[in-house]
Amino acid sequence: VQLVESGGLVVPPGGSLRLSCAASGFKIDDYAMHWVRQPPGKGLEWVSLITWDGVSTYYADSVKGRFTISRDNNKHSLFLQMNSLRSEDTALYYCAKDVSGSGGMADYWGQGTLVTVSS
């Protein structure tokens, strides 16, 4: 199992960014997928989950209405569209594979991509 995140950048407050996660070594369309973030020097914060078929999505209150999770199973990819970015969104963003198709714990994680929101 390999998960490789990309797309992290320095972006000004109010800006937008799209993160990607390339999955390999497993059949992505069997599993739900997560985004989890970690501000520098701080703890983990769960951000979002999408079910195996992309039909159901769930968000942390802190990002609801601003972030959108999506997936393309044909391209073995997971995405996170981030709009109206704030300084508190600065973090290392991890993509993680769930153990089931509908949601649970994450058994494999990528190495993360760094998003910095700063003017």
Positions in the binding site for another protein (CB under 8 A): 36, 43-46, 49, 58-61, 94, 99, 103-107, 109-112
Q: How far is the CB of 79 from another protein (least distance, A)?
A: 19
| Choice between 79 and 112, CB closer to another protein | 112
14/104 with CB nearer another protein: 104
Which residue's entry shows tokens 């942390």? 60
Nearer to another protein, 4 or 86 (CB): 4
